[in-house]
Amino acid sequence: MKNISNRNLWVDYLRSAITVMVVAHHSSLAYTTFARFDKETYINSTHAIVDTKRWVGLDIFENFNDVFFMSLMFLVGGLFLIKSVNKKGTITFIKDRFYRLFIPFLLLGTGFMLIAYFPSYYVGHNNFDILAYVKDFFGPEKWPVGPPWFIWILFLFNLLFALCQPLFSKLSNNFGTKLSNAKNKPFSFFLFLFCITWILYVPLSYTVGAGKWVGFGPFDFQLSRIFLYFGYFALGILLGNTNFNSEIFSNHSATVKKWWLWLLLSLLVYSTLTAVSEPLKQMLENNLIKEFYAWMIYYVIYAASCTISSIAFITSFRKLANKENKLWNSLSENAYLIYLIHYIFVVWCQFLLLRFDIPAFIKFSLTFILSFFLSWLCSVQLRKIRVIEKYV
């Protein structure tokens, strides 16, 4: 069992909170108004299970998460890497990442996804034939990766960092001083992160399309966001080489003191993003604005929402997560396995609820609560196995 007190408590709690948001995010996807299901090839669907019950409120909830939470997850994933490499050495670090990230992704991720996607196959083909399902899974469906896509991308980023560690160390030495100077300049910090977000996301997303995924087999990723994810990951590495708890994210810094304002702004900017979408579509349909300008207006607000929401969650957890809680400690210790296995419970709950004529919000709530706690319970039991506890 990891000793939470020897780590950054607020970072651990932030990471586990994002994991909970991931479970809630996937729990909502069956009930959004834009959900669609492709019976011929379910991997082309918006989600593994799609219900006839929909609620626009879940569109708003799902999109709020989608705008920022995986970028923030990559930033958190980079925070302690320089210190880890300096402590373990490059070769040992790579071996550790291989066993902790790549092996669980390849073995557990594939095994769990085989269990998770069976309801999708049944809904599409009305067939309980397990052998036919497995052939379809590795054949027409091209080995669906599901949520573990994050794990292999994180491993790849870790590997790139380890191989380029001297460069990162050199950059971080210069970068750390500038970050320290920004601790009482919250607007400068926002502007810096906003520019990174816009530059790394907007041009690529506009060029290839915001929803573009590519890959081979389970090595799938969202092409439109790959630069953004790596940029946030690199920023986490650079931040991690500073004494961020007493500098940029000090409780006494102006950035953290305004945590409540960041939260309000995150809701305000996201509300603006939601509100502006339909008018922009109408203006485009009526030839009142060129497509390029419509997209640029949307993307500017999108980048601001991603930036501010990320800062809001960082500063709120830095300010408020200052005392240990036994339940949250357990959640932090089990967050990784919860991430790996929750999709099984999410998809099967959504599948079993298809037959019930109840509101979408109730179905979402049941799916989320059951999936979250069952994943947590399973993680606690699986981590009693020595090899799993050691690496996961």
Cross-strand partners of 215: 220
Tokens 């794990």 sit at which residue? Answer: 151
Backbone angles phi, psi at 83, to 5 degrees: -65, -35
Q: Where are the domains of the chain?
A: 4-391
315 residue type, one letter: T
Three-class SS of residue 142? coil
Token pair for 190 = 């926002």
Cα separation of 383 and 371, whole Å?
Answer: 18
Q: Do 14 and 236 form a contact (C-beta atoms < 8 A)?
A: no
List of residues 6+ apart from 90 with CB closer than 8 A: 162, 163, 165
Reduced to 3 states (helix: H, G, I; strand: E, B; else coil), residue 220 is strand
Contact 87, 164 (CB under 8 A): no
The answer to whether 285 and 310 are in contact (CB under 8 A) is no
DSSP state of 244: T
Q: At what angle do helices 291-320 and 259-285 cross, to 10 degrees?
A: 160
Taking the C-alpha atoms of 10, 244, 196 and 167 in order, what is their torsion angle to the nearest 10 degrees?
A: -120
CA dihedral 330, 331, 335, 338 (to 10 degrees): 100
Tokens of 33: 């108004």
Q: Is the dihedral of CA 345, 351, 355, 359 positive or negative?
A: positive
Rounded distance, CA 253 to CA 186, Å?
9
Q: Which residues contact 163 (CB under 8 A, 6 or more apart)?
A: 90
Give me the pLDDT at residue 238, please.
87
Task: Please give the chain's pLDDT, 392 residues, in tens.
Answer: 444 444 689 999 999 999 999 999 999 999 999 999 999 999 999 999 999 999 999 999 999 999 999 999 999 999 999 889 988 999 999 999 999 999 999 988 888 999 999 999 999 999 999 999 999 999 999 999 999 999 999 999 999 999 888 777 777 777 766 777 777 889 999 999 999 999 999 999 999 999 899 988 899 999 999 999 999 999 999 888 888 998 899 999 999 999 999 999 999 999 999 999 999 999 999 999 999 999 999 999 999 999 999 999 999 999 999 899 999 999 999 999 999 999 999 999 999 999 999 999 999 999 999 999 999 999 999 999 888 887 77
